[in-house]
């Protein structure tokens, strides 16, 4: 897995963070790291270079101001730069004064147009509109049927006929008008941006139905070619914006940044899951965080949602809040967490995890041992670990194939962690006590 | 063990966020049954599939659109005499071709060394770069293995929209043309109309198809197809699977199960092919890693090379993960699915002469 840009910056900056002064060499080193990380996030090379230039300017400024923490300033400069490129505003649909509002979807094969059409229709329907879908992809086998199935699932009518794409689109829009539908979404066949006959057909559809919105559907996993593809579709269609699909994957989605910077067209919507309702307006600030690496939290949540048992998770959360989290709960949660995959991978996605911890090699066999130790305790022992004396410890060690010392270490660490949990505010009562205590200490000094 | 416990308890906190409940796949299910397939559509599909069969592209022809940055590179080199500047430009070009920053840097570094002291005309740079690129590929057997025991089972896996179904359709037609007896397993029971899509291809190729109800367990559809193939004496079973993003744990588990169950059938799983779209950027590496770990991928199919994309991530996958590219899709026609040929690929990308 790629380390997040945030993580890599942290690495690059760890050397200079403590310095009160940045040298030219420090800046260059950091810029190389920033550049690589952005390229690994599939940000287009031209955009990477311009971002790096502006960050350099900021860093040079930081070199000149010894009173501030220069490292932090560089990080902030990168973040600000990403936000600046992505823009602050969320795209808003303005409905046509004379309905229907016509929306045309275009893009490469496999970018997810048909699914996006269904999701967009549901989005409009949820907003209280009366959408209609038009199946003008007569190219891919099964595409019309796919849209019809989607339409059925969300109870939105689908227009299709076996003529040609321009006719289907034109008659589809006319049909929507006749039926009093106020938004029409036209799905088209996937095409390569360089396929001239098919791009001409796209232009013909565009001319025939004069859409209010022309969206280019782009896969979040796309590489350096995103800019070229967007440019060509924009030249042909004058696109209104981009729909970014498959954003629920772990791709960083550098395409969003690239297309906005080079073609000047914003990302309007993002598809964030497999269900039809997993579709939302695009939030530029969230994307900046994702590219910087904070977005991992979202994928983590995603993964937790898809693998964890809701009741068990909720019970664990409740027990933590009540400050009653014991080894029984720990075992439950441990088994849940392990379902998400290798622990090291999961841990690397958590924000704010100290670097030493993130880089710690976690041997899954060791976790097996932790599980074995707790499994070898009686339920009473798990509820109340203070019961565990020498003889019980020996029994548990024998039962789990470990040593009494292992058992002892686990119990000790669990106790320390439970205490820490309460201190960081999970258990409300003890948190106040801790704050009071440390306050008193400070006053004494 | 200290870090371990800290880590675990941190993770326990995750419980807070997982309150929205288990997210499974909600398949198109019965709805497919309700929608009467519009009578005009199958005819149309057959017609379109028929059209595909006509075109027969070449590596050089399909890759001509991908060549842009390389052509510009060689054109620029004419005016540059200095090896470092050439290497820097090569690095940029390789990055634009989606080889990724690390590999691009490594290749340009090697190029700098091999070009040292030589004349720097565009042809010598092109040749040196071709040599460096070709050296990054494995000396691997790229032929598909169907095994000795009938039927050989080939699983197609990958993220959504890379072209698994289309690849199966073309491969089925190609194999049938060579007299191989093919059974297609319509194992994508999730995406609406995926079964109809693959069955249009199977009809066109004149091969046997086994499908299940929409929303059926894909592992059992594939198992049934293998048993059926064994019973009728098929040589090979091409198994479609639903597209899935590699970070969805439950869907990757489903894929593991599909592979396990497929092994239990009458045949043997001889190939697990990861289908990757040539437009894919560096996430392709993450895909190859995750699918490789989950189901022991044996090779890569690189699709959609006829666009302007370069498919450079496949070079990165092969050179860093050791997964050989076995097939490429050079265009829309059935004849456009080809065995991967390193020399033709590299020469097509770089152009015959600068």
Q: What is the mean pLDDT of residues B40-60?
A: 49
Percent of chain A with pLDDT over 70: 77
pTM value is 0.76
pLDDT at B148: 82
In the numeric block, the tokens 């790291």 are attached to A33
Rounded Cα gap, residues A295 and A287, in angstroms: 7
B236-271 burial by CB neighbour count: b if 16+ within 10 A, else e? bbbbbbbbbbbbbbbbbebbeebbebbeebbbbbbb
Mean of all residue pLDDT scores within chain A = 82
Rounded Cα gap, residues A169 and A186, in angstroms: 7
pLDDT at A381: 92
- Residue B61 CA to chain centroid, in angstroms? 20
Cis omega before residue B151 (within 30°)?
A: yes
N- to C-terminal Cα separation, chain A: 47
What length does chain B have? 354
| CB contact set of A432 (below 8 Å; sequence gap of 6+) | none
Query: With contact defined as beta carbons under 8 Å apart, do A185 and A213 qualify?
Result: no
The closest of A267, A260, A108 to A199, measured between CA atoms, is A108
CB contact under 8 A, B31 and A330: no
CB contact under 8 A, B192 and A347: no
Q: Write down the H helix ranges in chain B.
A: 2-12, 31-34, 40-54, 59-63, 68-77, 83-96, 101-115, 122-135, 164-177, 194-205, 218-232, 249-264, 283-295, 312-321, 342-350
- Mutual orientation of helices B68-77 and B122-135 as an angle, nearest 10°? 130
Q: What is the mean pLDDT of residues B255-271?
A: 94
Burial of A94 (0-12, 13-18, 19+ CB in 10 A): exposed
pLDDT at B226: 96
- Residue A206 CA to chain centroid, in angstroms? 33
Q: Considering only CB atoms, which chain B residues are within 8 Å of A146?
A: 191-194, 197
B149 to chain A, minimum CA–CA distance in Å? Answer: 33
pLDDT at B214: 84
CB nearest to B5's CB, from A110, A145, A417: A417
| CB contact set of B323 (below 8 Å; sequence gap of 6+) | B274, B288, B292, B297, B298, B299, B300, B317
Instruction: Encode pLDDT of B66-82 as tens digits.
Output: 888 888 888 877 666 68
More confident residue, B56 or B241: B241
Q: What is the mean pLDDT of residues B90-109?
A: 95
Q: What is the mean pLDDT of residues A377-388?
A: 90
pLDDT at A65: 60
Report the 10 Å Cβ neighbour count for A416: 14
pLDDT at A437: 39
DSSP A201-225: HHHHHHHHH--SEEEEEEETTB-TT
User: Tell me, what DSSP letter sits at residue A20?
Assistant: S
CB contact under 8 A, B18 and A310: yes
* Paired tokens of A255: 């395409």
Instruction: Encode pLDDT of A260-280 as tens digits.
Output: 999 999 999 999 888 999 998
More confident residue, B20 or A415: A415
Q: Considering only CB atoms, which chain A residues are within 8 Å of B192?
A: 145-146, 149-150, 153
Judge whether residue A407 has pLDDT over 70: yes
Query: With contact defined as beta carbons under 8 Å apart, do A345 and A2 qualify?
Result: no
What length does chain A have? 445
**Probe site for chain B from A221, A258, A328, A330 (most B CB atoms < 10 A):** A221
Rounded Cα gap, residues A123 and A110, in angstroms: 21
Rounded Cα gap, residues A136 and A317, in angstroms: 49
- Residue A357 CA to chain centroid, in angstroms? 23
Rounded Cα gap, residues A276 and B27, in angstroms: 11
Q: Rounded to 5 degrees, what angle do the CA atoms B286, B290, B293 make?
A: 140
DSSP A96-112: -SSSPEEEEEEE-TTS-
* Paired tokens of B289: 């890693």
Element (H, E) at A147: helix A143-153
Q: What is the mean pLDDT of residues A279-303?
A: 67
Instruction: Encode pLDDT of B151-199 as tens digits.
Output: 999 999 999 999 999 999 999 999 999 999 999 999 999 988 899 999 9
CB contact under 8 A, A313 and B19: yes
Q: Considering only CB atoms, which chain A residues are within 8 Å of B26?
A: 274-275
pLDDT at B296: 96
Burial of A146 (0-12, 13-18, 19+ CB in 10 A): buried
Q: Considering only CB atoms, which chain B residues are within 8 Å of A225?
A: 98, 279, 307-310
Rounded Cα gap, residues A382 and A117, in angstroms: 52
Q: Considering only CB atoms, which chain B residues are within 8 Å of A370?
A: 1, 4-5, 8
Query: With contact defined as beta carbons under 8 Å apart, do A25 and A49 qualify?
Result: no
CB contact under 8 A, B247 and A414: no
Whether residue B289 lies within 8 A of chain A, CB to CB, comes out as yes
Strand partners, B58: none
Mean of all residue pLDDT scores within chain B = 84
* Paired tokens of B62: 């399909």
Whether residue B196 lies within 8 A of chain A, CB to CB, comes out as yes
Q: Considering only CB atoms, which chain B residues are within 8 Å of A313?
A: 14-16, 18-19
Q: Which residues 19-38 of chain B have a CB within 8 Å of chain A? A: 19-26, 28, 31-32, 34-35, 37-38
Q: Considering only CB atoms, which chain A residues are within 8 Å of B72?
A: none
Rounded Cα gap, residues B252 and A345, in angstroms: 15
B266 to chain A, minimum CA–CA distance in Å? Answer: 31
In the numeric block, the tokens 């490129």 are attached to A85
Rounded Cα gap, residues A437 and A423, in angstroms: 11
Query: With contact defined as beta carbons under 8 Å apart, do B220 and B256 qualify?
Result: no
Judge whether residue B29 has pLDDT over 50: no
Q: What is the mean pLDDT of residues B305-310?
A: 88
In the numeric block, the tokens 């060549």 are attached to B67
Rounded Cα gap, residues A401 and A399, in angstroms: 6
pLDDT at A5: 59
Half-sphere exposure of B306 (CA within 13 A, CB side): 20
Rounded Cα gap, residues A73 and A66, in angstroms: 11
Whether residue B257 lies within 8 A of chain A, CB to CB, comes out as no
- Residue A171 CA to chain centroid, in angstroms? 39
pLDDT at A443: 41
Sheet with A101-107, strands from edge to edge, namely: A158-159, A131-136, A183-188, A101-107, A213-219, A241-245, A267-271, A279-281
A159: nearest CA in chain B? Answer: B38
CB contact under 8 A, A1 and B31: no
**Probe site for chain B from A218, A224, A372 (most B CB atoms < 10 A):** A224
CB contact under 8 A, B308 and A193: yes
Judge whether residue A431 has pLDDT over 70: no
Whether residue B5 lies within 8 A of chain A, CB to CB, comes out as yes
* Paired tokens of B12: 């326990």
Sheet with B152-157, strands from edge to edge, namely: B208-211, B182-186, B236-239, B152-157, B268-277, B299-303, B325-329, B337-339
**Probe site for chain A from B4, B90, B188, B204 (most A CB atoms < 10 A):** B4
CB contact under 8 A, A45 and B92: yes
Q: Considering only CB atoms, which chain B residues are within 8 Å of A312?
A: 15
B339 to chain A, minimum CA–CA distance in Å? Answer: 22
The closest of B248, B65, B243, B58 to B167, measured between CA atoms, is B243
A145: nearest CA in chain B? Answer: B193
CB contact under 8 A, A308 and B37: no
CB contact under 8 A, B18 and A340: no
pLDDT at A14: 61
Q: Considering only CB atoms, which chain A residues are within 8 Å of B247?
A: 248-250, 299, 302-303
More confident residue, B44 or A213: A213
pLDDT band at B136 (very low <50, low <70, confident <90, very high): very high
B6: nearest CA in chain A? Answer: A417
**Which of A150-154, A341-345, B138-142 has the lowest average pLDDT?**
A341-345
Instruction: Encode pLDDT of A97-143 as tens digits.
Output: 999 999 999 999 999 999 999 999 999 999 999 999 999 999 888 89
Characterize the bridge pairing of strands B337-339 and B325-329: antiparallel
A250: nearest CA in chain B? Answer: B247
A49: nearest CA in chain B? Answer: B92
In the numeric block, the tokens 């003890």 are attached to A430
Q: Which residues 117-146 of chain B have a CB within 8 Å of chain A? A: none
In the numeric block, the tokens 């009578």 are attached to B39
N- to C-terminal Cα separation, chain B: 59
* Cα dihedral B217/B219/B221/B222 (nearest 10): 160
pLDDT at B7: 53
Q: What is the mean pLDDT of residues A381-410?
A: 90
- Residue B253 CA to chain centroid, in angstroms? 20
- Residue A191 CA to chain centroid, in angstroms? 27
pLDDT at A161: 94
pLDDT band at A208 (very low <50, low <70, confident <90, very high): very high
Judge whether residue A60 has pLDDT over 70: yes
CB contact under 8 A, B17 and A301: yes
pLDDT band at A26 (very low <50, low <70, confident <90, very high): confident
Q: What is the mean pLDDT of residues A342-350?
A: 66
CB contact under 8 A, A274 and B25: yes
More confident residue, A32 or A286: A32
Query: With contact defined as beta carbons under 8 Å apart, do A345 and A250 qualify?
Result: no
Query: With contact defined as beta carbons under 8 Å apart, do B156 and B187 qualify?
Result: no
* Paired tokens of A134: 């038009």
CB contact under 8 A, B4 and A45: no
Rounded Cα gap, residues B206 and A250, in angstroms: 39
Judge whether residue B5 has pLDDT over 70: no
A with B: how many residue pairs have Cβ under 8 Å apart? 296
More confident residue, A10 or B148: B148
CB contact under 8 A, A413 and B7: no
B288: nearest CA in chain A? Answer: A1
Report the 10 Å Cβ neighbour count for B107: 22
pLDDT band at B221 (very low <50, low <70, confident <90, very high): very high
Q: Considering only CB atoms, which chain B residues are within 8 Å of A194?
A: 65, 307-308
pLDDT at A73: 65
CB nearest to A149's CB, from B32, B102, B279: B32
Cis omega before residue A100 (within 30°)?
A: yes
A323 to chain B, minimum CA–CA distance in Å? Answer: 13
């Amino acid at each position: 897995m790629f380390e997040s840009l945030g993580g890599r910056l942290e690495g690059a900056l760890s050397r200079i963070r403590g310095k009160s002064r940045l040298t030219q060499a420090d800046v260059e080193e950091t810029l190389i790291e920033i550049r690589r990380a952005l390229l690994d996030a599939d940000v287009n090379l031209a955009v990477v270079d311009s971002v790096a230039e502006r960050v350099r300017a900021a860093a040079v400024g930081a070199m000149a101001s010894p009173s501030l923490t220069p490292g932090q300033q560089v990080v902030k400069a990168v973040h600000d730069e990403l936000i600046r490129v992505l823009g602050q505003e969320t795209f808003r649909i303005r409905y046509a004064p004379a309905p229907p509002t016509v929306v045309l979807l275009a893009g490469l094969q496999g970018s997810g147009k048909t699914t996006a059409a269904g999701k967009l229709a549901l989005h409009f329907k949820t907003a209280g509109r009366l959408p209609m879908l038009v199946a003008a992809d007569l190219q891919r086998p099964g595409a019309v049927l796919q849209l019809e199935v989607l339409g059925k699932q969300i109870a939105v009518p689908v227009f299709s006929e076996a003529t040609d794409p321009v006719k289907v689109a034109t008659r589809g829009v006319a049909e929507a008008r006749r039926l009093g539908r106020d938004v029409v979404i036209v799905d088209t066949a996937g095409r390569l941006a360089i396929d001239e006959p098919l791009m001409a057909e796209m232009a013909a559809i565009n001319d025939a139905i004069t859409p209010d919105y022309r969206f280019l559907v782009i896969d979040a996993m796309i590489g350096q070619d995103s800019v070229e593809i967007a440019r060509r579709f924009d030249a042909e269609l004058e696109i209104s914006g981009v729909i970014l699909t498959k954003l629920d994957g772990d791709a960083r989605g550098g395409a969003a940044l690239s297309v906005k910077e080079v073609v000047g067209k914003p990302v309007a919507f993002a598809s964030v899951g497999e269900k039809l309702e997993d579709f939302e307006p695009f939030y530029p600030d969230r994307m900046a965080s994702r590219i910087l690496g904070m977005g991992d939290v979202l994928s983590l949540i995603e993964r937790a949602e898809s693998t964890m048992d809701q009741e068990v998770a909720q019970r664990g959360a409740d027990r933590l809040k009540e400050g009653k989290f014991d080894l029984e709960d720990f075992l439950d949660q441990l088994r849940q967490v392990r379902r998400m995959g290798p622990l090291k991978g999961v841990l690397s996605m958590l924000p704010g995890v100290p670097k030493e911890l993130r880089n710690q090699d976690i041997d899954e066999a060791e976790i097996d041992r932790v599980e074995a130790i707790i499994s070898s305790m009686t339920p009473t022992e798990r509820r109340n670990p203070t019961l565990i004396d020498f003889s019980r410890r020996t029994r548990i060690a024998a039962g789990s194939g470990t040593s009494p010392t292992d058992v002892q270490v686990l119990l000790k660490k669990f106790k320390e962690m439970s205490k820490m949990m309460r201190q960081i505010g999970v258990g409300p009562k003890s948190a106040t006590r801790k704050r009071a205590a440390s306050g008193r200490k400070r006053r004494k000094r | 063990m200290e870090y371990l416990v800290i880590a675990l308890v941190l993770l326990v906190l995750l419980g807070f966020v997982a309150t929205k409940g288990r997210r499974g796949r909600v398949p198109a299910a019965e709805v497919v049954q309700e929608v009467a397939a519009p009578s005009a559509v199958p005819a149309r599909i057959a017609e379109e599939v028929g059209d595909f069969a006509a075109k027969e592209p070449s590596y050089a022809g399909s890759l001509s659109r991908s060549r842009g940055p390389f052509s510009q590179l060689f054109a620029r080199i004419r005016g540059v005499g200095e090896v470092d500047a050439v290497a820097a430009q090569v690095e940029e070009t390789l990055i634009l071709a989606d080889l990724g920053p690390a590999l691009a840097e490594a290749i340009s570094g090697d190029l700098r060394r091999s070009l040292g002291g030589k004349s720097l005309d565009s042809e010598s740079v092109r040749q040196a770069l071709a040599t460096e690129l070709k050296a990054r590929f494995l000396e691997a057997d790229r032929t598909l293995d169907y095994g000795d025991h009938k039927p050989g089972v080939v699983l197609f896996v990958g993220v959504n929209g890379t072209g698994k179904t289309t690849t199966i359709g073309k491969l089925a037609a190609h194999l049938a043309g060579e007299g191989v007896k093919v059974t297609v397993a319509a194992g994508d029971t999730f995406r609406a109309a995926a079964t109809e899509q693959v069955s249009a291809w199977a009809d066109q190729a004149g091969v046997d198809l086994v499908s299940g109800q929409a929303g059926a367990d894909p592992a059992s559809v594939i198992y049934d197809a293998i048993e059926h193939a064994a019973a009728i004496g098929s040589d090979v079973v091409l198994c479609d699977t639903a597209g899935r993003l590699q970070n969805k744990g439950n869907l990757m588990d489903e894929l593991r199960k599909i592979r396990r169950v497929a092994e239990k059938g009458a045949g043997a799983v001889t190939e697990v092919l990861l289908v990757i779209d040539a437009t894919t950027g560096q996430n392709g590496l993450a895909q190859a890693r995750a699918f490789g770990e989950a189901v022991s991928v044996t090779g890569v199919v690189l699709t959609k090379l006829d666009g302007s994309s370069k498919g450079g991530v496949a070079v990165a996958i092969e050179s860093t993960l050791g997964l050989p590219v076995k097939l490429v899709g050079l265009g829309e026609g059935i004849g456009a699915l080809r065995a991967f040929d390193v020399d033709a690929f590299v020469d097509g990308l770089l152009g015959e002469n600068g």
